[in-house]
Structures are given as structure tokens and as C-alpha cells.
Amino acid sequence: MAKKLSIDLEIKASAACVRDFEFKVSADQLKAESDRVSTAFAGMVQIPGFRAGKAPLALVKSKYAAEIADELRNRVISAAFEKVGENKDLDVMTLVFKKPVGEIDINADLEFVFEANVAPEINLGDYKSITVEIPQDAIEESALDERIDFYRGMYGSYAAVEEAAKAEDMLKVDYTSDFVPAEDASASVKRQAAASDSFIWLNEPETMPGVIAALTGAEKGREYEFKSEYPADYREAALAGKTVTYKVTVKDIQRRTKLEDAALLEKLQLKSMDELRDRLRKAMENDNEQARRTKAADAVYKRLDEMAGEFELPPALLAEETNKELQKIAREQVKSEEDANKFKEELDAKRAEAEVAAKAALRRTLILRKAARLEEITVEDAELDAQLAMMSYQYGYKAKELKDMMEKNGAIDEFRADMANAKVLDKLVGMALK
């Protein structure tokens, strides 16, 4: 059995939820590990004048001193991480160097320190006794009728009409505006400024703010002018907060004709309306059950939160979560240079607001993390990959591309933690729901 590098560890509390992992490796251990690294190199490298693996060890050490030193440093750090993982009493959440390894002198003892943010002690009491009662909503026949009517319209066909436009109609139009997009603006922004032979639906979500009211009652062949007031949080920053005047020429008005029973059944490849109603009832029951479990999850977490009581939050994680919440607030509120200046003036207040949200989010994470440890719930690599594969299909990426992106931006660990939280909450809901 190959010898392992022996490393000593002493753990000291430096603050609430913060521990210093102080490591020490003796000179004798460093020399022995350095020899093992050198021997491994000697078996792999080819030095002119010697058969593979037969070069003198001293020559190998001299020629590959830098590479051997790097590998020794990697082994020391790897052994330290392994030592941290052996400690089951502490739930380590972040680990950074407080005193780095630096250049290793194998003739002297080596000391280095990791600073760890650890999960606080949380007592969830008899959490398995939590019960919640959420009644299952019944499926009314009128709700089935509404769903069937929706499908009649959804699968119906549009036909031109000579009447004035009304709600749900589709209008073929040309339009211009007084909004001038930048030359490098996206295609979607440019389409908001002007378009020919475009279609506008008189239903939500609106193509332009106020277009439904402006064009309801419109007639074919006529021109209409109206103002659109884009909200400050509009998805396209170039239009956010702006008021744009549009001139629209209505070229055609089309109205959807709802399908009759026979045509609807043919479209859905079903034999009878009873079969359709049964299928819709099951789908709606599934939707109601999911909504019921969502309400139950909120109720279960509320009870867990009460049972957990007060506890300290890891400072580094709180700072990180606060910055995330602050960035979220900024994305929602800053749409212009004026907004940016105002945000800077109110930065202290915004940060305080972000910290409140961050504390609630981090507290939830820690409570569910504790429950997951108690229930021995983890997320295996296969589960993670399966979820990423599903997401990649939705977002139009290859699964590996999505995983690589998340690993590069540091989001993969957070995603895995979110999956674990969802798993444990789902299990607790299954235990609690009556």
C-alpha cells in the first residue's frame, strides 16, 4: 500500500461560524513525499543517455526541480483538503487560504492556514413531527368547460374580417415611431421602432404598451396614432422609461374561429369529448396537487424556521449573499444614467435593504442544509447532469456547454445546493402533508 503524506491539523475558532484550520507538515514528511514525487517523475520522463525510468534520481531532481516542487505543493494542499473532509463535526461551507503554502523548503517544517466559514449549530427539534393540512382543490365542471373553450380557440384558425378590430384579433400592420434606435441596437429593439407587414395581437402581453386600447375598434385601411409609455423596468433598456409615439396603418384584420367538437377532437387525436374531459381533469388535478405541495412547502419551511430559533450567520457567506441581492436590486432599478446616479446616492440604504433579503435567503439555505444532513440527502453527479441536460434543452445549449459555463462562473455548487434543498423540502412535505 502506497504511503500517504502525514499532515497535522489543529482547528481554532476565530469568530462565530469561522474556524482556522492550522496545518503542519514536518520536514521529514516533506522529504519523504518529495522523494516519492521524484521517483514517480523518474519513471515517466525520458532523459538523453538513459533508458526510460533508469536516470539517476539526483539528476531527475535537478532537471525537474520546478515540476517536482509544484507537484509536492499540490499533494500537500490535496492532503489538507482531504483532512478537512475527514472532520464530520463541522459543516464547512467555504475554505480559503489565510496563510498560503508558498514555496516549500523540505528541510524545514511547513505551516499554513485555511480560513473556513462553517454552518452554525442549528437545532431543528422534532422536525419529523411537523404536519400541515392543505385541502385538494376540486375540479369544477365549469373549469373544464373554460379549458376546453381555450383549446377551441387555440387550435382555431384565423380568417380575415371586415369588421372593426376587437379583443383577441390579429392585425397586419405597418408602423413607424419617433424612437430612433442606436445603429448597433438589437433586432428586437429595432422592431419596436418600425416594421412593415408585421402582426399585432390584441391580447396580453402587449407588443407595445397601450396598443390594445389604441387599436381596439380600428378599421382596415386606416391610420392610427398613439403614445406608448414604456415602464422603467422594461426588458429592453433602450426603451425603458421612454414615451414613444407610434403611427400604425392597419392593413388587415383577422379573427380566430373556434373549433367545433369534431374538429377539436380530430386536432387532438381523441375519440370523444368525454375522453378529452377525463384527460383535462387529470392534468388539472396534477396542477392542483403541485400547487398544494407548493403551499405545503411554504408551511413546512415556516415551521422549520420557527423551530430553528436564532443562530449566527457565516460572515463571508452573508457578505456574498448581500452583494448578490444588491446586484439584483440594481438590475431591477437602474435603467438609465439618472437611475445609476440616484442608486449611488442611496447606496447605503440599498445595501441595508439587500442585507435584510440576504439574511432571510441565507437563513433558509442553512436550515434546509441542516435538514438535508439529518436526512442524509445529497445530490449525486448523475442527478445533477440529468437536471442540467433538461435545462440545456430548454435554453438551447449542449449539456456540457451549460455545465462548463456554470463551473467557470462558480454557479455549479450553488445549483447543486438548490437541488439538495428542493429534495429535502420535497421529502419533508411528503412526511408532513395530510
Does pLDDT of 3 surpass 90?
no
Torsion sign across C-alpha atoms 86, 88, 89, 95 = positive
Least confident of 22-26, 84-88, 285-289: 84-88
Q: C-alpha cell of 17? A: 461560524
Q: For 160, list phi and psi in degrees, rounded to 5.
A: -65, 140
Q: Are residues 280 and 251 in the same domain?
A: no
Among candidate residues 72, 60, 63, the one with its CA nearest the CA of residue 102: 72
Among candidate residues 48, 40, 49, the one with its CA nearest the CA of residue 67: 40
The answer to whether position 152 is within a domain reads: no
Does pLDDT of 408 surpass 90?
no
Termini Cα distance of the chain: 55
Angle at 201 between CA 197 and CA 204, to 5 degrees: 145
pLDDT at 142: 95
The answer to whether position 267 is within a domain reads: no
DSSP SS3 for 134: coil
pLDDT band for position 434 (cuts 50, 70, 90): confident
Q: In this predicted model, what pLDDT tens digit does every residue of 267-282 receive, in sequence order?
A: 999 999 999 999 999 9
**Interatomic CA distance for residues 85 and 116, integer angstroms:** 12
Residue 254, class by beta-carbon neighbours within 10 Å (0-12 exposed, 13-18 middle, 19+ buried)? middle
Q: Are residues 253 and 283 in the same domain?
A: no
Number of domains in the chain: 3
- pLDDT (mean) for 330-340: 85
Q: Are residues 386 and 427 in the same domain?
A: yes
Q: Are residues 285 and 252 in the same domain?
A: no
Measure CA 396 to chain center.
16
Q: In this predicted model, what pLDDT tens digit does every residue of 116-146 receive, in sequence order?
A: 999 999 999 999 999 999 998 899 999 999 9
The answer to whether position 404 is within a domain reads: yes
Would you call the peptide bond into 48 cis, given omega within 30 degrees of 0 as the criterion? no
Q: Are residues 412 and 361 in the same domain?
A: yes
DSSP SS3 for 145: helix
Least confident of 7-11, 47-51, 121-125: 47-51
CATH number for position 179: 3.10.50.40
The answer to whether position 343 is within a domain reads: yes
> Residue 231 in contact with residue 241, Cβ under 8 Å?
yes
pLDDT at 18: 95
Does pLDDT of 52 surpass 80?
no
The answer to whether position 125 is within a domain reads: no
Bridge partners of 216, per DSSP, are none
Does pLDDT of 1 surpass 60?
no
CATH number for position 96: 3.30.70.1050
**Interatomic CA distance for residues 230 and 177, integer angstroms:** 13
As a whole-number percent, the residues of the chain with pLDDT over 70 amount to 100
Q: Are residues 245 and 291 in the same domain?
A: no
Among the candidates 230, 257, 284, a domain finishes at 257
pLDDT at 2: 59
Q: C-alpha cell of 43? A: 519513471
Q: In this predicted model, what pLDDT tens digit does every residue of 296-321 receive, in sequence order?
A: 999 999 999 999 999 999 999 999 99
Domain of 43?
Answer: 8-118
**Residue 359 parent element (H or E):** helix 347-374
Measure CA 97 to chain center.
27
The answer to whether position 268 is within a domain reads: no
Helix, strand, coil share (%) of the chain residues, nearest 5: 50, 20, 30
Q: For 351, list phi and psi in degrees, rounded to 5.
A: -65, -40
Q: Are residues 379 and 419 in the same domain?
A: yes
Residue 211 exposure: Cα atoms within 13 Å on the Cβ side: 25
Q: What is the pTM of this model?
A: 0.76
**Interatomic CA distance for residues 130 and 370, integer angstroms:** 16
Among the candidates 225, 257, 289, a domain finishes at 257
What mean pLDDT is reported for the chain? 92
Q: Are residues 226 and 342 in the same domain?
A: no
The answer to whether position 139 is within a domain reads: no
Among the candidates 89, 118, 147, a domain finishes at 118
CATH number for position 406: 1.10.3120.10
The answer to whether position 191 is within a domain reads: yes
> Residue 260 in contact with residue 104, Cβ under 8 Å?
no
Between the alpha carbon of residue 392 and those of residues 30, 134, 163, 388, 419, the distances in Å are 46, 34, 45, 6, 16
Q: Are residues 222 and 181 in the same domain?
A: yes
Could you count the other beta carbons within 10 Å of the beta carbon of residue 218? 22
Question: What DSSP assignment string belongs to 220-250?
Answer: TT-EEEEEEE--TT-SSTTTTT-EEEEEEEE
As a whole-number percent, the residues of the chain with pLDDT over 90 amount to 75
Q: In this predicted model, what pLDDT tens digit does every residue of 98-115 receive, in sequence order?
A: 999 999 999 999 999 999
Q: Are residues 246 and 296 in the same domain?
A: no
Query: 183: phi > 0 → left, psi -120 to 50 → alpha, else beta; which?
Result: alpha
pLDDT at 405: 86
pLDDT at 404: 85
Q: Are residues 253 and 289 in the same domain?
A: no
Query: DSSP code of 1?
Result: -
DSSP SS3 for 174: strand
Q: Are residues 309 and 208 in the same domain?
A: no
